[in-house]
Amino acid sequence: MEVKIGDVGPVGSGSTINNLKIYPYPIPPGEGTNVINVSFPPILTKGEKLKQKISYWMNRMGLLEWTVWGEFVPPEEDSSARCIFDPLHYQATIYLSDEHPEEQWDWSVVHELLHLMLSPIDAYIDELLLHTEKREQVVLDSHKEPIVEAVFNRLCRAIVGSSRPRLER
């Protein structure tokens, strides 16, 4: 049934002005096919945002053979992000501090993904160290982490385009 403005029709019957149907609130079921749906971007949880960020950088860095999870952990004194990975099964978990600001997630995610990307070199160095004398092994091993971290931080700056936020491991 069509009613003109000013007519009093049954609840939910609607009215027509210039081919636009005006509905009383609420719109009755089955009516309102010409109603414009305004959609908003979904509101993501913190965990979903991190998942999205990890997936974005994995794609950009070509780490598609890996499965990487993201988890938030209570803040630790010496780092805001760390990663535990299993290069044999291409699985890793990136742990971000609960208090790590969102604008620095890119940096931390890229830094941790670099650990995955370069894990074959890491394994190669470890293998070489196994074949050196114990005393030299200790000295060489102590140099490895600072060198790797310094290189990763420079690569991060080049990839993400911002400077180092806080100590990363």
CA pseudo-torsion sign 100, 168, 92, 57: positive
Nearer to Zn ion, 14 or 50 (CB): 50
Q: Which is nearer to Zn ion, 51 or 164 (CB)?
A: 164
Tell me the β-bridge partners of 20. Answer: 17
Cα–Cα distance, 150 to 160 (Å, whole number) = 15
Site string for Zn ion, 122-141 (x = CB under 5 A): --------------------
Residue count, binding to Zn ion (CB under 5 A): 1
Nearer CB in complex with Zn ion: 118/129 = 118
Residue closer to Zn ion by CB (options 50, 83) is 83
Detail the DSSP E strand segments found in 26-99. 67-73, 81-86, 91-97
Report 150-169 residues binding Zn ion (CB under 5 A). Answer: 169
CB of 123 to Zn ion, least distance (A): 16
Smallest distance, Å, CB 115 to Zn ion?
A: 6
**Cβ-proximal residues to 154 (8 Å cutoff; 6+ apart), any chain:** none
The residue with its CB nearest to Zn ion is 169
**Least distance between Zn ion and beta carbon 135 (Å):** 26
Q: Give the H or E element holding residue 16.
A: strand 15-17
Residues 6+ apart with CB under 8 A from 124: none
By CB under 5 A, name the binding residues for Zn ion. Answer: 169
